[in-house]
Amino acid sequence: MSEKLPEVLFVCIHNAGRSQMAAAFLAQVGGSGVVVRSAGTAPAESINPAVIKAMAELDIDLLSSGATPKRLEDAAVEASDVVITMGCGDECPFYPGTRYLDWKLDDPAGQGVAAVRPIRDEILRRVQELWAELSAAAS
């Protein structure tokens, strides 16, 4: 009998920066032990090029992984155990029983790689803390 994997949804406005980085990091550290999604309330057409470069510096290729901005759907929120918002405000749907966290992070939109690196590094730190908590709860 298998236990249900934790499901985490990362949400930002454009799903082109912060939520994409967070999802990629959690997929990397959590591997097959977690279901990871990301979405945006007003998705961009493509992922921020500076974010792609900053993640490539850590050997994470967002383009080859198939990451693309996606619209936030109620079903994704409802299916998630944890929803982490990053600047989408009141546009995120709320479901009782779902855990919500709001990560206050600078928006990498329109920024160069040098400005994205500290945002990326802070997201990585928070994702590692989240994964430690999720994996401890599953034990």
Could you read off the pLDDT tens digit of each residue along the chain, which spans 139 residues? 347 899 999 999 999 999 999 999 999 999 999 999 999 999 999 999 999 999 999 999 998 888 899 999 989 998 999 999 997 666 666 777 789 999 999 999 999 999 999 999 999 999 999 999 999 887 7
Give the DSSP per-residue string, 13-43. Answer: SSSSSHHHHHHHHHHHHHGGG-EEEEEESS-
Structure tokens given for 59: 């050997």
**What pLDDT score does 139 carry?**
72
* Domains with residue ranges and CATH for the chain: 7-133 (3.40.50.2300)
* Distance, CA of 27 to CA of 33 (rounded, Å): 9
- Please count the CA atoms within 13 angstroms of the CA of 89 that sit on its side-chain side: 4
53 is catalytic: no
41 CB neighbour count, 10 Å cutoff: 19
From 50, 54, 88, 124, active-site residue: 88
Task: Return contacts of 115-119, CB within 8 angstroms, 24+ apart.
Answer: 115/50, 116/17, 116/48, 116/50, 116/51, 116/53, 116/54, 117/54, 117/57, 119/17, 119/18, 119/21
**What pLDDT score does 96 carry?**
76
From 92, 124, 127, 130, active-site residue: 92
Residue 9 contacts residue 84 (beta carbons within 8 Å): yes
**What pLDDT score does 115 carry?**
97
Provide the 3-class DSSP secondary structure of residue 50. Answer: helix
Global pTM reads 0.93
28 is catalytic: no
**What pLDDT score does 90 carry?**
63
57 is catalytic: no
